[in-house]
Amino acid sequence: MTKKELMSGKYHLNVKLNPDSVVNQVSIQAGESLRLFALITEIFDHAENIKIPDVQNCFPMWSVSLSVKSTDELKQDMLSMMIETAMSNLMRSISECLDEFTWYMELYNFFIPQRKLLSDDFNRFRSETAEILKGQHKSALKNRLEWIDMRYGIISAHKSSILTLNDMRNCYVHRKGLVTDLDINDSIAKSLKIEYLRPFVFVVRDGEEVEVVAPFRLHDGEVGQRRAKEEHRAFIRGERIKLTLREFGYICFSCWNFAVDLAGKLPIVGKSNESQDR
């Protein structure tokens, strides 16, 4: 860059689009949410001896109506709030994944026709894309996914799974995981249905695929292969959502898999078009 270009505020930028940015936040948050869920379950597996201290003395000279819930009910509320945090963080990372995908695609479509990028152009692009994202952040997740598919001509895999997981998050956020009519997403079964991918290892024996479970003992000459299959759970009205650590792990895997698939749909820029990492 020459001094004249720098003083004018107009200079060429080198751009390097990084597909990993679409996956990174989901990958990090999936791991953190899974560890949080594991910690939650470990704490509450040993919570039978926890007693709530008397809090009446915290309100001298005031008449405060204290909760009439039992200790067990309050523990369940706390458990729901902590799971709500894990689920909310996980689904927030999906939103960030969609943001990164949009930044990448908008910059790619803006940059490729010109084959060069001036600083003024980039500033204009950044402002316009920020406005696009502001509008998208006001939309429901389902509308965001449909908008991305239509705008960029793709078909997002596992959309149904992500939407049902978001339904479960909403149930935790607004109703502490207790399913009501507002949460029903399967009108036939009258239930809150969640979908996720279950990864597994299999081998081929006598021409048939056989799933191998831990500790994964294989016969001589066998090679373990990995795959994921769609599974689901349903919770009826009045039922409280309860998940095992393994099931929550499948949920985290499903979110990560969604992000990986989305990143795989990004166009790759050749070396001649490289720019700075975002």
Q: Tell whether omega for the bond before 215 is within 30 degrees of 0, i.e. cis.
A: yes
User: How far from each other are the two terminal CA atoms of the chain, in whole angstroms?
Assistant: 20
Q: Tell whether omega for the bond before 60 is within 30 degrees of 0, i.e. cis.
A: no
**What confidence tier does 18 reach under pLDDT thresholds 50, 70, 90?**
confident
For residue 3, what pLDDT is reported?
Answer: 41
For 104-149, how does the pLDDT look when each residue is reduced to its tens digit (9 = 90+)?
999 888 876 555 666 677 788 888 999 999 999 999 999 999 999 9
Question: Residue ranges of the domains in the chain?
Answer: 13-48+69-265
* Beta carbons within 10 angstroms of residue 9's beta carbon: 10
d(CA 84, CA 244): 15
Q: What is the pTM of this model?
A: 0.81
d(CA 87, CA 58): 32
According to DSSP, the residues that pair with 199 across neighbouring strands are: 228
**Cα dihedral sign, 81-85-91-96:** positive
> What are the tokens at 253?
């895997």
d(CA 188, CA 128): 43
d(CA 89, CA 140): 17
